[in-house]
């Protein structure tokens, strides 16, 4: 699982999924790809929309709606932290750190999704 360590508050120096805000002139898909590249240096991945999360209390700054994108890729790709990340790193799904925001609550659904997709693709 690819995670970034946040550079700025809230949750400064905590691990999180790569992500950010959608610019006014871009699609959700373009924003997901841009944020992934800005924070991890990775580009050209086939991103698939997974699920939308909208708990009004999920971000202490303001109301935030998150659209999660996933991708299967070769973990040989080496992420390089940039923009709002001080670190970007692959983690074994069995040994993940505590996560910022409500990402810990989102994690089980993502892990189940990956497990199901792997079974379907094998």
Active site residue 39: no
Using only C-alpha atoms, the chain has a radius of gyration, in whole angstroms, of 14
- Select which of 29, 35, 87, 94 is catalytic: 87
In the chain, where do the E strands start and end? Answer: 2-6, 15-16, 48-53, 66-70, 85-90
Tokens of 82: 């940039």
Q: Would you please indicate which residues are annotated as catalytic (active-site) residues?
A: 87
């Amino acid at each position: 699982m690819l995670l970034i360590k946040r550079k700025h508050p809230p949750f400064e120096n905590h691990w999180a999924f790569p992500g950010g805000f959608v610019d006014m002139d871009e699609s959700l898909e373009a924003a997901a790809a841009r944020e992934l590249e800005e924070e991890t240096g990775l580009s050209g991945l086939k991103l698939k929309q997974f699920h939308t999360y909208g708990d009004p209390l999920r971000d202490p700054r303001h109301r935030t709606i998150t659209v999660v994108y996933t991708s299967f890729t070769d973990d040989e790709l080496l992420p390089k932290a940039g923009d709002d990340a001080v670190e970007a790193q692959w983690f074994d799904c069995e040994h993940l750190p505590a996560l910022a925001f409500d990402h810990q609550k989102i994690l089980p659904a993502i892990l189940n999704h990956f497990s199901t997709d792997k079974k379907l693709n094998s």
